[in-house]
Structure 1
Amino acid sequence: MTPEAPRKHTEVAVGILLRDDGAMLLSTRPPGKPYAGYWEFPGGKLEAGETVEQALRRELIEELGVTIGPAAVWKVTEHDYPHALVRLHWCKVREWTGDFEMREGQSMAWQQMPLTVAPVLPGAYPVLEWLAAERGLQFSPGAAE
């Protein structure tokens, strides 16, 4: 038996869109994709030659119809899903223009802690814990599920 080659990371830019009241935007995974219907922060894969900010800007126009302001990487996490090993580049975004359009048939919801939507994509758990801690709150994955 030959050992399996190590899995390659899929690099993903993720936007944490935050309103002035602290609410964050979550959207559902579109039909036909792995984990369809799960709630996640919007974003997508980096294409060849793209920076995280460029990929996030492109993805949010494609998915949501909004153009974001500045976006710098805040945290980087990894999650091993059955379908992909992902490296998630999390960016807090506080400025955007345009009207939200769910261009991939997804749903969206502005959420405060505790979340009222479920299920949430497991790769988002560490970031939700950090965001909750910043507000002196607890995040429990089972709370909304």
Structure 2
Amino acid sequence: MRSEGSAPPHGAATAIKALYREVAACTRCPTICGYRKFPWEAVGRPDTGLVLVGEAPGIASIRNARHWTGRAGMVLRGEIRRLGLDLEDLFFLTNAVKCWPEAPGAREANRAPRASEIANCARFLETELRLLDPKIVVAVGAVAARAVLGRQVSFPRDHARSFRQGGRTVIVLLHPSNANRFMGWAAYRASLLRIFRRLARHRPAPLPEVEVAAALIARNGRYLITRRRGGQHLPGYWEFPGGKRRPGESLEACLRRELREELAIEVEVGEEVLAVAHPYPERRVRLHFFRCRLASSRVRPQEGQRYRWVRPGELATLPFPPADATLIRALAASG
């Protein structure tokens, strides 16, 4: 069983995790199609005292199951990475609107959130901020700034301006999608770097890191996947089989052991296809995917888990952990 995550810390994070179950079930907005939103595992760190609020998910970020990974979001990530950090290392990440607002008449295009959608999501954001009680909130874009402050701000005049509200500091930022039009890329990027450098002084100790090996086992153009059971991290999600490396164990030996224990199969471990680092709220996971050849004739689950053989194009239709998103896109494109 892969074990790249576990329950978040007790206290605020546990309460917010319960809140995200409410978010996942919410269908209050008839203007939203599909109710596509981020899972709890995408929120970053709940323990830093810093919250970054965006306007709404974009389609690129929804596909990646990771905040701020569209064209505009990568501007933010590009600057914080110059400090050797990423957004999830420093912030709890959320949005004024929790679902992706799809543009009408367009194929998977973004649009600005509507006032009714912002109002319907207001209680979620208010609850997050109440539970986390952050020292500093960074609101990116006019929609996020208004959702946090309860009033309008004026960009570009108010870009990087700090406000005091309810005992905390709120820093408002011009949205990256408007930066070049209002102030130019060089000045905007420099302002982001200054802010991130200042906020980085607040960061706690780095998250613990675990290494996980997972197998890509193909047969007749289909890949072997297994389903997580109830009581596990991300129950009901599908995964490529594998598990956590033990101290002193090679990744290849880890994979052979896990597959033998879980599925009673023997494999020949081949090349490493992809390695990804993915931050969860409580740990950072480095996940290694290996191509493997099945040497056994039968798959025999030892823990009662379900398994399937699926074509590459089917993978994107099934729920997988966020850390698998990059691989699934690559397999679908090649399949």
The interval holding the TM-score normalised by the smaller chain is 0.7 to 0.9
Structure scoring higher RCO (CA < 8 A, sep ≥ 6) equals 1
- Residues 1:7 and 2:207 aligned together: yes
Q: Deviations over 1:21-59 (max 9, x none)?
A: 220011111332110110010000000111110000000
Contact 1:11/1:46 (CA < 8 Å) preserved in 2? yes
- Structure 2: which amino acid aligns with 1:95? L
The alignment's C-alpha RMSD in Å is 1.9
* 1:23 equivalent among 205, 219, 222: 222
- State the match for 1:119 in structure 2: 319
Q: Which runs of 4+ in 1 moved over 3 A?
A: none
CA gap of 1:103–1:4, structure 2 versus 1, over 3 A, is same
Superposition deviation, residue 78 in structure 1: 1.4
Structure 1 position 56 matched with structure 2 position 220: no
Could you say which residue in structure 2 is the equivalent of 1:142?
none
Q: Which residue identity lines up with residue 124 of structure 1 in the other structure?
A: D
Residues 1:133 and 2:329 aligned together: no
- Higher deviation after alignment, 112-121 or 32-41: 112-121
The 3-state SS of whatever aligns with 2:313 is coil
Give 1 or 2 for the bigger CA radius of gyration: 2
Structure 1 contact 47–55 (Cα < 8 Å) conserved: yes
**Farther off after superposition, 94-103 or 36-45:** 94-103
What is the rounded CA distance, in whole Å, between the counterparts of 1:92 and 1:4 in structure 2?
A: 37
Answer whether contact 2:228 2:305 (CA < 8 A) is retained. yes
Q: Does structure 1 conserve the Cα–Cα contact (< 8 Å) formed by 2:256 and 2:269? A: no
Q: Which amino acid aligns with 2:204?
A: E
* Cα distance in 2 between the residues matched to 1:119 and 1:131: 15
Residues 53 and 62 (structure 1 numbering): CA distance in 2 closer, same or farther, change over 3 Å?
same
Out of 231, 242, 245, the position equivalent to 1:32 is 231
Alignment check: 8 A CA contact 2:273 2:290 kept: yes
Residues 14 and 89 in structure 1, CA contact (< 8 A), matched pair in contact too: yes
> CA 1:40–1:23 in structure 2 vs 1: closer, same or farther (change >3 Å)?
same
In the superposition, the TM-score normalised over structure 2's length comes to: 0.38
CA distance in 1, matches of 2:260, 2:236: 20
Between the aligned partners of 2:326 and 2:203, the Cα distance in structure 1 is 31
The structure with the largest helix share of the pair is 2
Distance 1:52 1:87 in 2: 11
Flag the 1:84–1:131 CA change in 2: closer, same or farther, 3 A.
same
Unaligned runs of 5+ in 2: 1-48, 50-201
**Equivalent residues, number:** 134
Q: Which residue of 2 aligns with 1:109?
A: 308
> Higher strand proportion, which one?
1
